[in-house]
Structure 1
Amino acid sequence: MKKLGILLLLIVVMATLFAGCAKEESNLIGVSMPTKSLQRWNQDGANMKTELEKKGYKVELLYAEDSVDQQVKDLENMITKGCKVLVVASIDGEALKGVLDEAGKAGIKVIAYDRLIRGSEYVDYYATFDNYLVGVLQGNYIMQTLGLDKGEQGPFTMEVFGGSPDDNNAYFFNGGAMDTLKPYIESGALVIKSGQTDMSQIAIQGWKSEGAQARMDNLLTAFYADEPVDVVLSPNDSLAQGIVASLKAAGYGSADLPFPILTGQDCDTTNVKMLIAGEQSMSVFKDTRTLATKVVEMVEALMKGTEPPVNDTETYDNGVKVVPSYLCEPVFADVNNYKALLIDSGYYTEDQLK
């Protein structure tokens, strides 16, 4: 009888353990971020994990450090562990078809996070900011600051930078800005001395600051030895950092040679400090808390078997299907409004921007 009692006790303990494991697996959400080297992805990952854990989910958060192979391995591990939903900010939007096929066949739902994943039927939803609007905000800022919308004819010199060619968003950012500025380029009010506007000429692989710095060095040497550049269209903050480094090295930042109008995106702390110092003109603010909250709503809906919230079912074609999407609205920050947007909202503290 004593042996039987011990055996029954072991059975109960093992059953409890298995039940706990099953419950954990049924509650597991995988979050794959591209890298820790950019501030915004650290914030995105942390916000996502915090919000999901508040809702009672277990989260597997992994950073692939800009290695496509590592991101594929991370996703394969998440599939093996039994994640029910994968939230994926891809490094290369074209490179995940194979592993997403595995996820789809295993019945795992996939939400593309901020970057559209192309070429797979198993991308169920997409959550991002309105990427075309990001470019429009940058274009409008340039237009209004120069007074082009009020009839100012210039001419003003401008150079254009593009994001990483393997990031689908880069084309939307560029499209929004260039569509906005096109009339002024055609009229001659804006003059791109290099003539370089195609993404094959202006794209910076991996959104690397050093790549932007090297290209800006070349542009200044080749085209601006005798006159200053008035405007630099940069799609994001990491490129803007490299551009500012190049401009400083060339002597910009004095009364005789002021910094050009320079755009950006993400409101990284380094770049907000550059806004305050007058080195960068504006940055598009995409509140990652807003995006994280929306993705958590999507995850919860999928886990409950209901339809996630979407507000766009036409724009984002990944080459196989139009992916139902939710687009959050970005806003611009400059030296005049950054305190209200970034400090008063609790996104940053004043100490972080000193």
Structure 2
Amino acid sequence: MKRTLAAATALTLLLGLGAAGCGSTSAAAGPGTSVGTPPMIGLLLPEDTTTRYEQFDRPLFEAKVKALAPTVQVRYANAGGSAQTQAQQVRTMVNAGVAVLVVDAEDSAQIKSSLEDAKAKGVKIVAYDRLAQGPVDAYVSFDNEKVGELQGQGLLGAMGDKATPSAKVVEIDGDAADPNTLDYERGFLAAVQGRVNIAYDASGMWKPDVAAQKVTAAINQLGGRNIAGIYSANDGMAAGVVSALRGAGLTGVPLGGQDAQLDAVQRIVAGTQAYTVYKAYRPEAEAAAELAVDLLQGHEIVSLAPGMKISESGDAVHADLLTPVLLTRANIRQTVVADGLYTVGQICTAQYAAACRAAGLE
């Protein structure tokens, strides 16, 4: 649903008429906001270790809100990996008068009570990327089981004829507090179960150093030469895995991730990572912005979020689930370059120039 400048102007006039008519707090301006204050949307992101949040999600979301509703103010906070910090950020934003909260939960269960408090004060809630528990109005993400399925297919493809039922694979999952982690694992196992042997399974907590520790433990337990492939739930942890493999003197171990981080794309060019899953940031961030503006302005959201998801708290939530893409060396130009996420120059720095030429990128 497209918003025009006229719609934004109408919202401004409506707020102004409310102020002139009665002097009471405007619902559109958000709970606790005085009349005349610009309506506010809050954006809460979970951590800053993964590069996507600060580099793409935040600026894309803010730009789309500004385009849809120029008078609306976006308040932003990053939890820095702390569920307690994020809970405080929810309270701070509600007290500041935000009308809509867009939340990528650091811990989907712990945030439930904070969202219940916000909802009780009239705040609308959009779950972003991760489906938070509690009273959520809408959810925007990718089909996360499909992400895991693509990761499994990517690993099998990278292993080639070494993908046999006895081939030992190391599985490094994300943080269990993230509901997407289980979806990724379900999809991954659906693709690989019975075709390889998951010989070591541990959580890397979405942290590169933890993933490196776990892979080092797997190497010690299984023997490095016996590891036929490694599943890393995201690219940040894949960076830690590569460090652990390098430290053990291992090369050529098929490894994949998720998020299409720039360093991961460069590793794919160089051959130290086989694949990633590309989840285009722009459509996800812009879909969340559109939902937030529609909720702020009192519009229906079914056309924007036609699907339904049941959260782990049993709540049925309107959902917009986008389609992920498997990214390998063969389709870098057709994906992240074509979409303008990265330029060839950003990928093909001096360190990767020769590999880029071999991959047909230069």
Corresponding residue for residue 260 of structure 1: 253
Task: List per-residue Cα deviations over 1:165-218 (Å, max 9, x = no partner).
Answer: 11000000010000111131xxxxx233x4x34xxxx1122x100001001111
Corresponding residue for residue 234 of structure 2: 236
SS of the residue corresponding to residue 144 of structure 1 reads helix
- Greater shift, 152-161 or 53-62, is seen at 152-161
Corresponding residue for residue 332 of structure 2: 338
Tell me, yes or no, if the aligned pair for 1:24 and 1:58 is still in contact at 8 Å. no
In the superposition, relative to structure 1, how do residues 24 and 334 fare at CA in structure 2: closer, same or farther (>3 Å)? farther
Task: List per-residue Cα deviations over 1:204-256 (Å, max 9, x = no partner).
Answer: 22x1000010011111112115x342210111111111111001111123xxx
Tell me, yes or no, if the aligned pair for 2:45 and 2:104 is still in contact at 8 Å. yes
**What code does the residue aligned with 2:123 have?**
I
TM-score by length of 2: 0.82
Query: Which aligned pairs between 1:161-176 and structure 2 lie closer than 5 A?
Result: 161-176=172-187
Corresponding residue for residue 307 of structure 2: 312
SS of the residue corresponding to residue 251 of structure 1 reads coil
Corresponding residue for residue 244 of structure 2: 246
Corresponding residue for residue 96 of structure 1: 111
CA–CA separation in structure 2 for the residues paired with 1:311 and 1:181: 31
Tell me, yes or no, if the aligned pair for 1:160 and 1:232 is still in contact at 8 Å. yes
CA–CA separation in structure 2 for the residues paired with 1:326 and 1:168: 16
SS of the residue corresponding to residue 327 of structure 2 reads strand
SS of the residue corresponding to residue 215 of structure 1 reads helix
Corresponding residue for residue 197 of structure 2: 191
CA deviation after TM superposition for structure 1 residue 98, in Å? 2.4
**What code does the residue aligned with 1:299 have?**
A
CA–CA separation in structure 2 for the residues paired with 1:163 and 1:173: 9
In the superposition, relative to structure 1, how do residues 183 and 311 fare at CA in structure 2: closer, same or farther (>3 Å)? farther
In the superposition, relative to structure 1, how do residues 241 and 152 fare at CA in structure 2: closer, same or farther (>3 Å)? closer
Which ranges in structure 1 are unaligned for 5 or more consecutive residues? Answer: 1-13, 185-189, 254-258
Runs ≥4 in structure 1, deviation > 3 angstroms? 18-21, 144-148, 151-155
CA–CA separation in structure 2 for the residues paired with 1:32 and 1:191: 39
Tell me, yes or no, if the aligned pair for 2:165 and 2:197 is still in contact at 8 Å. no
Tell me, yes or no, if the aligned pair for 1:282 and 1:333 is still in contact at 8 Å. yes
CA deviation after TM superposition for structure 1 residue 78, in Å? 1.1
Equivalent position to 2:190, from 179, 182, 192: 179
Give the alignment's Cα RMSD to 1 decimal. 2.3
**What code does the residue aligned with 2:237 have?**
L
Corresponding residue for residue 79 of structure 2: 64
CA deviation after TM superposition for structure 1 residue 294, in Å? 0.9
Corresponding residue for residue 101 of structure 2: 86
CA deviation after TM superposition for structure 1 residue 147, in Å? 4.5
Corresponding residue for residue 160 of structure 1: 171
Larger radius of gyration: 1
**What code does the residue aligned with 1:208 have?**
K
Tell me, yes or no, if the aligned pair for 2:158 and 2:274 is still in contact at 8 Å. no
Which ranges in structure 2 are unaligned for 5 or more consecutive residues? Answer: 1-18, 350-362
SS of the residue corresponding to residue 213 of structure 1 reads helix
